[in-house]
Structure 1
Amino acid sequence: MNIHHQILVIGGGTAGIMVTAQLLKKNKGLNVGIIEPANVHYYQPAWTLVGAGTYDYDKTARPMGDIIPKGATWIKDYVAAFNPENNTVSTKSSGDITYDYLVVSPGLAYDFSLVPGLGDAMDKGVVCSNYTDPKHTWDVVKNFKGGTALFTQPTTPIKCGGAPQKIMYLAENYFRKSGVKSKTDIVFATGGGVIFGVKPIAKTLMEVVDRKDINLRFHHKLVSIDAEKQIAWYELAKDITAGGCVIMSGENDKMLDEKFQYNYKDVKVTKKGNRYGIHYDMLHTAPPSVAPKFIQDSPLINEAKWLDVDHHTLQHNKYSNIFGLGDVAALPTAKTGAAIRKQVPVVVDNISLLIDQNKLGTKSYNGYSSCPLVTDYGKMVLAEFDYTSNFTPDPKLKRMFISDSSKESWILWMFKKYMLPYLYWNKMMKGEDV
């Protein structure tokens, strides 16, 4: 039996649901199928708040059947293979499905083999991640009694690049309230060379780092985790100047290299060959992320094994009836729901015009993405930027009495905690352009 859909969408996450809902709203009577094996759809942006004990995890979940747009066919299955030459997708149990147009938006997958030891340690004991189990993160933060609180991230692309530091700012706030801050060193170790790639945001975040007395360690590539000894092992992505004094302050603090460290804390570090092991009493990280295996094994990827699409039209660079968006797409911007919100109308416009007039639309995605950076309970900064890393505030925020979203604000916190989840479930998932 050959199943055919005019438009086939892969993935029932933010991107897949929004594309489907907007396509059906714009083109009545379209035949759209969605391949998605999961029973539950999560609003993941709230997981930062769950990890800090200020949002109910259960409220982030809805049954997938309630989210699939009415008028679309839900194919509850896994993709097994792509045959783009014949406009066919093979599934694990539903056979082959053919299409006129294909939208690829399955999100990303976690590959723990990239950081040996992390997979076994994850979500157990003092190792946690808001990406995988935010309820466990909250347990770790609540039960922390002092010592070294290490916040880190892998060097792979990850969902919402700001998330590994958001939980750190909230945890610091909680440590102050619970009285363990005085016996705690907070360390943020990152593969990058700056706290954030957008200058006005970085300026604000450095003020937050100063206020919270956080030690930043740059150019730290996470290579393995020793859960038993509670050591996170790093290689330094740049040569150390000052004869190794970057990591060990020794007697002469002046020799510390600011490119590597900011606000030095004398936490325990073990050196082994060219590796530096930071000893931790709690560890929060993001899992190393890759495109899902069925995407990596397909003819649809670029050299880095992400979905190969045009940065502005989101059309596949080889197959003109395939589009891709969301976290799986090889786009040089942050992988966020805010990025998807701006990508969806471009894909919808292009497919609608291809169906009607056999031509692409004129809408162009400029790389817009945004990271809501929560800096305290009740404070937030909104980092909005494009492909050029310019700060690009959305004019809609001005209507909410937010004059400068690069500064910490209580209104932005309320926006994140109450307004965004409401807009997500009631507008974005229903195909309204917000």
Structure 2
Amino acid sequence: MFALRTRLAPLCTRGFATAASETKPATDKAYKVVVVGGGPGGLSVSSTISKMLGQSQVAVIEPSSVHYYQPMWTYVGGGLKSFDESQRPMGDLISPQADWIQDKVTKVNPEENTVTLANGQRVGYDYLVVAAGIQVNWDNIKGLKDALGKDGVTSNYSADSVQKTWQFIQDFKGGNAIFTFPATPPKCPGAPTKITFLAEEAFRDLGVRDKTQVIYNHGGAKIFGVDHYGKILQRLADERGIQTNYFHELIEINAGNKEAVFRNNQNKELKTYNYDFIHVAPPCGPPAFIKESNLADAAGWVDVDKETTRHNKFKNVYALGDCSSLPTSKTAAAITAESGVLKHNLIADLEGKTVEPAKYDGYTSCPLIVGKKQLILAEFSGYTGKPMETFPVDQRNISSLAQLLNKEIIPEIYWRELLTGRWTGPGKYREAMSSFRGKYD
């Protein structure tokens, strides 16, 4: 059990929505900053802030002993990377100045500035950073959980089944190969499209494409939310014979009969497809402990200002990444820019300074893999839908160099720079190259 910590840092009340009570609630331990989540957002923030504040002033609450670079899982599922390359021990990544609390958060009480752990202990904070990621709701699709990773049913969204995807692709002898996209926004919304293109290419390489129906059943209205890139993707899908069906939401897997049931969300009709291979992008949503707390907006995400990342009610609470209400794509690239904004504003709070707040502009990137050596480097604002491209070229063009960047170089930036708090996105490089960039329709 954690010992009671009697040395509590004074609570800075500048702009707080609730005043500190005379008698603080009992806690098992308390910190200046508590970070919930050991993903890229949580590690980036905790690395920077713990170096600034010193030993044991920052806690990272994260139950997992392994950190996964999940953007690599498309390459794993496509047979281009090994699973081992996507993982590292969590203990090697958390800043040595921070305390690692290896447990789950089950409750947040922002009125009392405490979080409750699964073991019942309470951790107090002066500032809270919520970077808890997204909850994958496998149970929302009937029969999926039991079928996953067996007999042609796979998903690159699971650490277990992603290791089966390439095996199932190689074993595929023809028939219906179905790929799905949920009706709710998933993390890395480009991922379901990427594996569709990689698998279609693999079927050609394996000599089974002529007896294969590649079907992409998408729960949304179009293949990609930003038309600047989406029109190119749709054209490629049409050219490669990928059948795209929209407003088709997967609701059931009948593994015994190898059937997938979809609901058309326009007319509510059900349609059953036979499958020989199916890759499922599962529905996602906010973590339960957030949805059930006073931190949540109506949809269950941490309710933060879309520019400052500060909570709209509790001014000593920040959030970034997939669990936040920031209305942009839920990608690791978005977290890079979000982390820089959050850290600027949180550091000003910690130092008691009144400064011009940093503002997040919705920047995100979705490297759209369309072949083993083919990639469209989509960079845009999730707020406006307008391109925010770094390089002085038309990034809608398929590029092998962009594929090399995403496959080999960006992972190193992730491990060495983002997780250590040094990388906050390509904004300064985009600005430096702006004078060399043309205008593209």
The answer to whether the Cα contact below 8 Å between 2:183 and 2:219 also exists between their aligned partners in 1 is: yes
Q: Give the alignment partner of residue 76 of structure 1, picking from 102, 107, 112.
A: 102
Asked if residue 208 in structure 1 is aligned to residue 236 in structure 2, the reply is yes
CA distance, structure 2, for counterparts of residue 361 and residue 131 of structure 1 = 39
TM-score (norm 2): 0.86
Q: CA deviation at 1:293?
A: 1.9
Q: CA deviation at 1:99?
A: 0.7
Q: Give the alignment partner of residue 410 of structure 1, picking from 400, 417, 423.
A: 400
Q: Give the alignment partner of residue 382 of structure 2, picking from 376, 383, 387.
A: 387
Aligned partner of 1:186 in structure 2 is 214
Aligned partner of 2:137 in structure 1 is 111
The answer to whether the Cα contact below 8 Å between 1:368 and 1:386 also exists between their aligned partners in 2 is: yes
Q: Give the alignment partner of residue 273 of structure 2, picking from 278, 287, 301.
A: 278
Asked if residue 231 in structure 1 is aligned to residue 259 in structure 2, the reply is yes
| 1:272-351 pair list within 5 angstroms | 274-351=269-346
CA distance, structure 1, for counterparts of residue 292 and residue 258 of structure 2 = 35
Aligned partner of 1:242 in structure 2 is none
Q: Secondary structure at the match of 1:174?
A: helix
> Relative to 1, partners in 2 of residues 1:283 and 1:360: Cα closer, same or farther, differing over 3 Å?
farther
> Relative to 1, partners in 2 of residues 1:177 and 1:18: Cα closer, same or farther, differing over 3 Å?
same
- Tell me which moved more, 88-97 or 368-377: 88-97
CA distance, structure 1, for counterparts of residue 284 and residue 212 of structure 2 = 30
Q: CA deviation at 1:209?
A: 0.9
CA distance, structure 2, for counterparts of residue 149 and residue 332 of structure 1 = 32
CA distance, structure 1, for counterparts of residue 362 and residue 103 of structure 2 = 31
TM-score (norm 1): 0.88
Deviations 1:287-311 (A, max 9, x none): 2112222222222111111221111
Q: CA deviation at 1:237?
A: 2.0
CA RMSD of aligned residues (A): 1.7
The answer to whether the Cα contact below 8 Å between 1:50 and 1:134 also exists between their aligned partners in 2 is: yes
Q: CA deviation at 1:393?
A: 3.0
Q: Secondary structure at the match of 1:38?
A: coil
Deviations 1:187-212 (A, max 9, x none): 11112221112122112212321331
Amino acid at match of 2:289: F
Q: Give the alignment partner of residue 424 of structure 1, picking from 400, 407, 414.
A: 414
Q: Secondary structure at the match of 1:124?
A: coil
Percent same amino acid at aligned positions?
A: 38
Q: Give the alignment partner of residue 175 of structure 1, picking from 203, 211, 219.
A: 203
The answer to whether the Cα contact below 8 Å between 2:55 and 2:98 also exists between their aligned partners in 1 is: no
The answer to whether the Cα contact below 8 Å between 2:378 and 2:389 also exists between their aligned partners in 1 is: no
| Matched residue count | 396
Aligned partner of 2:48 in structure 1 is 22
CA distance, structure 1, for counterparts of residue 99 and residue 55 of structure 2 = 12
The answer to whether the Cα contact below 8 Å between 1:25 and 1:431 also exists between their aligned partners in 2 is: no
Q: Secondary structure at the match of 2:262?
A: strand
The answer to whether the Cα contact below 8 Å between 1:309 and 1:330 also exists between their aligned partners in 2 is: yes
Q: CA deviation at 1:394?
A: 3.5
The answer to whether the Cα contact below 8 Å between 2:389 and 2:395 also exists between their aligned partners in 1 is: no
Deviations 1:63-86 (A, max 9, x none): 000000121111111112111111
Aligned partner of 1:266 in structure 2 is none
Q: CA deviation at 1:382?
A: 1.5
The answer to whether the Cα contact below 8 Å between 2:329 and 2:382 also exists between their aligned partners in 1 is: no
CA distance, structure 2, for counterparts of residue 194 and residue 106 of structure 1 = 29
CA distance, structure 2, for counterparts of residue 164 and residue 359 of structure 1 = 44
Amino acid at match of 1:107: G
CA distance, structure 2, for counterparts of residue 359 and residue 277 of structure 1 = 59
CA distance, structure 2, for counterparts of residue 345 and residue 363 of structure 1 = 8
Aligned partner of 2:429 in structure 1 is none
The answer to whether the Cα contact below 8 Å between 1:123 and 1:136 also exists between their aligned partners in 2 is: yes
- Tell me which moved more, 121-130 or 350-359: 350-359
CA distance, structure 2, for counterparts of residue 30 and residue 364 of structure 1 = 29
CA distance, structure 2, for counterparts of residue 316 and residue 29 of structure 1 = 26
Q: CA deviation at 1:278?
A: 1.8
**Structure 1: unaligned runs, 5 residues or longer:** 240-272
Deviations 1:24-57 (A, max 9, x none): 3555568111001110001111100000111011
Q: CA deviation at 1:94?
A: 6.9
CA distance, structure 1, for counterparts of residue 376 and residue 247 of structure 2 = 24
The answer to whether the Cα contact below 8 Å between 1:77 and 1:94 also exists between their aligned partners in 2 is: no
Q: Give the alignment partner of residue 58 of structure 1, picking from 84, 107, 112.
A: 84
**Structure 2: unaligned runs, 5 residues or longer:** 5-27, 426-441
Asked if residue 97 in structure 1 is aligned to residue 123 in structure 2, the reply is yes
The answer to whether the Cα contact below 8 Å between 1:349 and 1:361 also exists between their aligned partners in 2 is: no
Aligned partner of 1:31 in structure 2 is 57
CA distance, structure 2, for counterparts of residue 307 and residue 388 of structure 1 = 17
Q: Secondary structure at the match of 1:68?
A: coil
Deviations 1:291-334 (A, max 9, x none): 22222222211111122111111111221100111111122211
Q: CA deviation at 1:388?
A: 3.8
